[in-house]
Amino acid sequence: MRHIKLALALSLAAQVAQAGVTGSFPSIDGGILNLEDWRGQPVLVVNTASQCGYTGQYADLQTLYETYRDRGLVVLAVPSDDFNQELDTAQDVKEFCEVTFGLTLPMTDILSVRGPGAHEFYQDVAAETGFVPAWNFNKVLIGPDGAVVATWGSRTKPMSRAITGEIELLLN
């Protein structure tokens, strides 16, 4: 009986370890960005737009990435035109971000983050937490286990203590 309970506990632990949000994203550079490749690392996913009042947050996202990437943090920008504030093409977005903000963090192609056409990542986040981006520059922190740790709205700046404090708790 003890062996059966142990086997069930180990099976449940394995299922929990595999839980969490998953997904792959088309990269703005071509190819695929897969969340599973970053398993074991915290990932901050941010829906972005190039023509928004919060677009200046790109600079802080880059600073956040440079500050913590050597300790394992991934910052993923997800350009979206759901709020009609993104440039026309992914190439325009990439060029704008590189020239204006010196962005080197990973970026996806332009994707939908809300509604019936939302990318699977955002559908999973909504199903797990009820969180749906209300505007551009909403942030979702994924823990090393793939679970959503925290979410923030547009007004919370990337280098705020609220965000950096959560990230520091997750880093090796």
**What percent of the chain is predicted at pLDDT more than 90?**
86
Q: How far is CA 145 from CA 51, 70, 125, in A?
A: 34, 19, 14
Catalytic-labelled residue, pool 35, 52, 75, 167 = 52
For helices 161-170 and 57-68, the axis angle rounded to 10 degrees is 30
* Residue extents of the structural domains in the chain: 20-170
Whether 52 is catalytic: yes
pTM: 0.88
Superfamily of domain 20-170: Glutaredoxin (3.40.30.10)
The predicted-structure confidence for 46-72, as pLDDT tens digits, reads as follows 999 999 999 999 999 999 999 999 999
β-strands 43-48, 74-79 pairing: parallel
Residues facing residue 76 across a β-bridge: 45
The predicted-structure confidence for 65-117, as pLDDT tens digits, reads as follows 999 999 999 999 999 999 999 999 999 999 999 999 999 999 999 999 999 99
The predicted-structure confidence for 140-155, as pLDDT tens digits, reads as follows 999 999 999 999 999 9
In angstroms, the CA 145 to CA 20 distance is 7
Task: Give residue 19's pLDDT.
Answer: 56
